[in-house]
Each structure stands twice: as C-alpha cells, then as structure tokens.
Amino acid sequence: MIPASFDYVKASTVDEAVAALVKGGEDAKVLGGGQSLLPVLRLRLNAPSVLIDVSEVGEMRALTDDGDALLIGASVTTYEVMHSELVKEHAGLLSLTAGAVADPAIRHKGTFGGSVAHADPAGDLPTVAAALDCEMVIAGPNGRRTVAAKDFFVDYFTTALAADEVLVAVRVPKLGAGWSYNYQKFNRTAQAWAIVGVAAAVKSENGTITEARVALTNMGATPIRATGVEAALAGASSSDAIAAAASKAADGTSPTSDLHADSEYRKHLAAVLTRRAVEAASGI
Amino acid sequence: MTHISATVDGVHRQGEVEPRTLLVHWLRESLGQVGTTVGCDTSNCGACTVLVDGRSVKSCSVLAVQIDGKSVTTIQGLAEGEDWHPVQRAFKECHGLQCGYCTPGMVMASVDLLSENPNPTEAEIREGLEGNLCRCTGYHNIVKAVQTAAAEMGATT
C-alpha cells in the first residue's frame, strides 16, 4: 500500500528538527532510516501530517569516544554500529546484537536511535540499551535532557520522549576490561523478530563470575533487566550455578501470548536462552 | 511536491515527487525502470532490493525523497553494455531462478554481499541473503550462483 499524504521536512540541525516538531504538533513524526516507520505508514497504522527527516543531521550522524562512554548519534545506522571499531572495542554486545537485527538491507538503512525510540518490545537494540545502562540524550523546545534506559522505556512502543522531542544520541557506557558478552535471539524464520531474546554481559575473574547484566527482549511491554539472575550469577563458577541463576529469568515477568508463542513458552525460552547466553559469554 | 535529483543507473535524474512516493514507485512509474519488482510490499521479501550509494536497501521501504542527492543502482544498471555482470551470468548459468520474480532483488543483494565479502562461505551466503525470499528454488542454485560469481570475480580481479 501507499502511505497517506504527509509533508516532508529535511532537518539539517537538531534545532531545526525540534522547531519542525513544535510546529507540526502531535501529528508530526521523526524519520530516521524509516525501516520501522515506513511499514507502519504503508499499512496505514499511522498517518502523520509531517515527517521530519533527521537522517543527515550532522550531530546525529556522529559516533564518538566520550571518555567513559561512546556517544552514538541517533541517525547512525545499524550497519555502521555493527562494523564500528569503537563499538566493537568498547561495547561489543551492541556490535554483536546489531548483526542480529533484521537483514543486511534493513541494517543499511535502519538506525540505532530509531530502533530505541520506536521501542518495539521485540526489538533487539532496546534490550542492549537496557543491559548496558545507556543514557538517551534528548532535545526539545526547552533544551536538552538525559534519561536513563530504565526510565526511557515506558510501555509498548512508548518512551519518555515527548511529542516535541527528538532523540539526539545514545550514550553507551564502556564495558571495560574483563567483560564478555553474548546475545541469544530465538525466532523461527530468517530476519524475523525475536520471539524471545536475551542479552548477557558478565565480568569474570579466574573462572568465576563477579558481576553480570542480563536483559530480556519481548518478555513484556519494555526491555526487562533480569535482576534476580544478575544477583544469582555473582560468584557462579559452574554450569550448574549458571543454570540455577538462569532459571529465575522469567521471575516477575508476564510476557504476551501471540501466534508465535504463548506466555508460558516465552518464560521457558527466557530461562533456556539466559543459560545459553551466560554460558557463551562466560565460557563456563 | 518535493524536488529530488539522483543518479539512477548512471544517468542523472530529477523530478517533483509527492513525499509519500516510495523509491520503487519512482523508479518504476516515473523513470520507467521496471526491472525492479514489487513483491510483498511489507519489506520482507527483498524482491525490490536496489543499491543506494553501493549498499543494498529495500526500495519499497525507502521514500524517493530519502535518496535525493544519492546514487541508485537497479538490476538495469549492472551490465556494462552487452556484458552482463558476473552475478547476472552466474544466476543464468547455475539456473539460480525459476519464475524469476525474486531475481532482480536476489542479484542486487548478492552484488552487495560480494562487495563486502568477496569469498563467502555457504553459510555466509545464506545469512547474507536472509532478507530475500525465493518461493521456487529452495535456494540451492542461488547459493551455487553466488559461489560461482565469487570464483569468477576473484579470478578477474
């Protein structure tokens, strides 16, 4: 299908994008790569009055080393994130997971920031943002603010972004030495969304896990940190200990049932994939 | 209407488009480049794959206004005169198609894959083409075609 008519504004700065959002009101939408938005428009699930294209805003295209973190502009593509040497070195979990998103053609066009702002609970990259305690740099008519991942994802396809705000960049804290990571994505067909996904990063010393981050994809309305697993993994040094910790993955979650999987099966998958992700990350 | 200009298959093109015009519709309906097919229209099948600045995209999921100032290559821009691109030849020689509807996208995705990884393993080919669906072949001869093209392109460069 063809999208309903809309006006098109190509922003060249963040200020221009914000001004266009303010002018456009609630019916304005930000266009990054369009790989989530265009299917929505073509299916006429949404019909914005104006699209504000931020794909070539210089500041939003930058990927820079910011000391203890990487600053990844919201319009940096998934493909660029996947192949960036900086990301590989300091946020390997993000680089690895970017390669699990959709397919090559979609990764070439889709953006990291777009995926985060779209906040599809089945999206892979929001889970990494949660696992790595990323911070979202947001610009609006009253200036800029920074929102932690745990406060950014609010509900299904809903974030802390107001209608007149744009996500400028994601601040990705560097993992530092001693960390290893893995992402497990369960789906039935190539390029499909995750039925369940698990991102794990663990810090190990002499074969014992000292610290762990585990986040779940598609186990609720937002990415979920499996805090029970994280706590139980501290001190784990055997596959039995990892399995015991992973069995807590679905604690406190109430995942949806749909044609791909019912809620109970998702809970089962969360535990299995958490075990696999932690084992692969830790080498234990 | 929004003015756009782009290089399409080596030719400078420009025109006025409605912002909602999809790239594939601009190519087919305004420029007459009908080699690129529209398959699923939901960004799953990859039949409409073209290259934008050398990288594959699904032209049913890109707006024409998004390629302003860029270079687009469709299946019709691959051959040099009468000389087919090695990937085109390999798809013919290996019979990497049956009905042929997915072929324009499949060839473009393969060209993109080989530009990044000139000597892919079978697994890398299958992974690299995961965004392109073929409902006829079972992919066997498509994989063979990409391997054949890789060997030929490696031998000539």
How confident is the prediction for chain B on average, in pLDDT? 96
Position B157 scores a pLDDT of: 55
> pLDDT tens digit string along A16-48?
999 999 999 999 999 999 999 999 999 999 999
A56 in B contact zone (CB under 8 Å):
no
Of the pLDDT bands very low, low, confident and very high (cuts 50, 70, 90), residue B36 is very high
| Residue pLDDT, tens place only, A254-267 | 999 999 999 999 99
- B62 closest CB neighbour out of A1, A34, A41: A34
Whole-number pLDDT of residue A53: 98
- Mean pLDDT over residues B35-51, rounded? 93
Q: Is B115 in the same domain as B139?
A: yes
Q: Are residues B66 and B117 in the same domain?
A: no
What DSSP designation does A235 have?
T
The pLDDT of residue A204 is 96
pLDDT reported for residue B156: 61
Of B19, B43, B49, the CB nearest to A39: B43
- Spatial separation of the C-alpha atoms in residues A282 and A77, rounded to whole Å: 29
How is chain A split into domains, by residue range?
7-53, 58-173, 181-282
Domain boundary among B55, B77, B99: B77
List, run by run, the mean pLDDT of 10-residue segments along chain A (284 residues): 95 98 96 96 95 98 98 98 98 98 97 98 98 98 98 98 98 95 94 94 96 98 98 97 98 96 98 98 94
Supply the pLDDT for residue B41. Answer: 78
Q: Are residues B33 and B66 in the same domain?
A: yes
Mark yes or no for CB contact A6/B20 under 8 Å: yes
Using the 3D structure, point to which of B77, B111, B130 is the last residue of a domain: B77
In this complex, is the C-beta atom of A8 within 8 Å of any C-beta atom belonging to chain B? yes
Q: Give residue B83's Cα distance to chain centre.
A: 17
CATH superfamily of A181-282: CO dehydrogenase flavoprotein, C-terminal domain (3.30.390.50)
pLDDT value of residue B27: 98
CATH of the domain at B109: 1.10.150.120
> What is A7-53's CATH number, 3.30.413.10, 3.30.43.10, 1.10.1750.10, 3.40.1010.10?
3.30.43.10
Q: How far is A38 from chain B (nearest CA, A)?
A: 6
A79 interfaces chain B, CB cutoff of 8 Å: yes
Tell me, yes or no, whether B6 and B72 share the same domain.
yes
Is the CB of A8 less than 8 angstroms away from the CB of B43?
A: no
pLDDT of A56:
97
Architecture of domain A58-173: 2-Layer Sandwich (3.30)
Edge to edge, the sheet with strand A224-225 lists A179-186, A196-205, A208-217, A224-225
What is the per-residue pLDDT for A1?
80
* Structural domain containing residue B98: 86-156
pLDDT over 70 at B139, yes or no: yes
Q: Is B50 on the interface with A (CB under 8 A)?
A: no
- Please indicate whether, in this complex, the C-beta atoms of A39 and B61 are within 8 angstroms of each other: yes
Identify all chain B residues contacting A106, using CB atoms and an 8 Å cutoff.
43, 58, 61, 131
pLDDT value at position B43?
A: 87
d(CA A185, CA B153): 34
Q: Are residues B71 and B93 in the same domain?
A: no
- Read off the pLDDT of residues B63-81 as tens digits, 9 standing for 90 and up: 999 999 999 999 999 999 9
CA angle, corner B32, sides to B28 and B35, nearest 5? 65
**CATH number for position B10:** 3.10.20.30
Q: Are residues B66 and B90 in the same domain?
A: no
Distance of alpha carbon A271 from alpha carbon A200, whole angstroms: 12
The total number of structural domains in chain B stands at 2
Q: Do B112 and B134 fall within a single domain?
A: yes
Q: Do B46 and A103 touch (CB under 8 A)?
A: yes
DSSP A155-189: ETTEES--TT-EEEEEEEE---TTEEEEEEEE-SS
Q: Chains A, B: CB contacts under 8 A, how many?
A: 84
Domain end position, chosen among B60, B77, B94 = B77
A274 HSE (CA, 13 A, CB side): 34
